[in-house]
Amino acid sequence: MIESVSIKGVLFFSAAMLISGSIGLFVQLVDTTAINIVFFRCLIGGFVLGCYILLFNRNNFKKVLDSLLYIVICGLFLVFNWVFLFSSFKYTSISVAVSIYYLAPIFVMLYGIIWLNEDRVKTKVMTILIAFLGALFASGIDDFTGENPNMLGALFALLAAFLYAGLVIVAKKIKNTDASHISLIQTSIGAVILLFFIDVDFQTIGLLRYDILLIIGIVHTAIMYILFFNGIKYATIGSVALLGFIDPMVAVVLDTLVLNTTLNNIQWLGVLLIMFAIVIKTYTDGVITLTRCYTRTK
């Protein structure tokens, strides 16, 4: 019975990571601003999540009130994290953006060293240095010019990683609240806030790729969240930590094969250094920390 539950969790979580890894490709297929895309993601994804909760998970919604402030703060972190991540996809390759975005766990590690006085400082400092060196290489620092869009995309990805790390740190204060309820509140917050910033008028609204926006909202948000949290529930911690690497691998493969993106040798070295740093973190700091970093997906 335990083995069947673990297999079920692996299948759910693997499917979630496959979906998550493809979101950069779909963002690039929509010719509109990142804010517009995130607005529709929140609006559509929140609606589908709301229907799911009404049908299958209505219980214990009152517990949300106990952590409402932290949930709202996490919602703000999450929404603007999406805005900067999607913006990075518009200016740099998916491979570079996703690699730099995965500095988020490194930021959490840095927070632990500075504020929580965590141990294994030497190993963690080495990991941080490797990760940031990788970020410099991946960003195209070898071709630095003030007009290099790749650098701007890398900066957006770095800001997204920083916001995601903040989300992870604040999310630790949320207790005994169902993840689907949290996701519904966060997407609702995003839809309301971004409603004041979207750049769509009657002339351009008909030109949007609503098919792609529906996929991003339904598949990459609602369905991915449902699969993700059920995977966390049934899979072992070790499986979750290892399967989490499916996400960046899928992103890089799609970027290379579908979009025909080519990175120079320095950028590939940067991507590999960042992935290497994340592997070190996983096996020296414990897989539980990495699991927490994934509990609020991109």
Identify the domain containing residue 64 by its residue range.
Answer: 2-294
Average pLDDT, integer, range 14-35: 91
Of the spans 90-99, 122-131, 185-194, 275-284, which averages the highest pLDDT?
Answer: 185-194
Least Cα distance to 96 among 226, 295, 273, 284 occurs for: 273
Contacts with 190 (C-beta within 8 Å, 6 or more apart), sequence order: 38, 39, 41, 42, 46, 75, 78, 79, 82
- pLDDT of residue 104 exceeding 60, the answer is yes
In the block, residue with structure tokens 């930590």: 241
Tokens representing 5?
Answer: 């539950």
Least Cα distance to 164 among 284, 76, 54, 231 occurs for: 76
Instruction: Give the model confidence (pLDDT) of 140-151 as tens digits.
Output: 655 555 456 678
Looking at the 3D structure of the chain, how many domains does it have?
1
* pLDDT attached to residue 204: 59
Angstrom distance (rounded) from CA 65 to CA 56: 20
DSSP string, 35-64: HHHHHHHHHHHHHHHHHHHHHH--TTGGGG
Give the three-state DSSP class for 70: helix
* pLDDT attached to residue 180: 83
- pLDDT of residue 60 exceeding 80, the answer is no
**In whole angstroms, how far apart are CA 244 and each of 13, 102, 130?**
8, 11, 20
Global pTM reads 0.83
The three-point CA angle 180-183-186 to 5° equals: 155
Angstrom distance (rounded) from CA 290 to CA 279: 10
Average pLDDT, integer, range 203-208: 60
Angstrom distance (rounded) from CA 186 to CA 74: 7
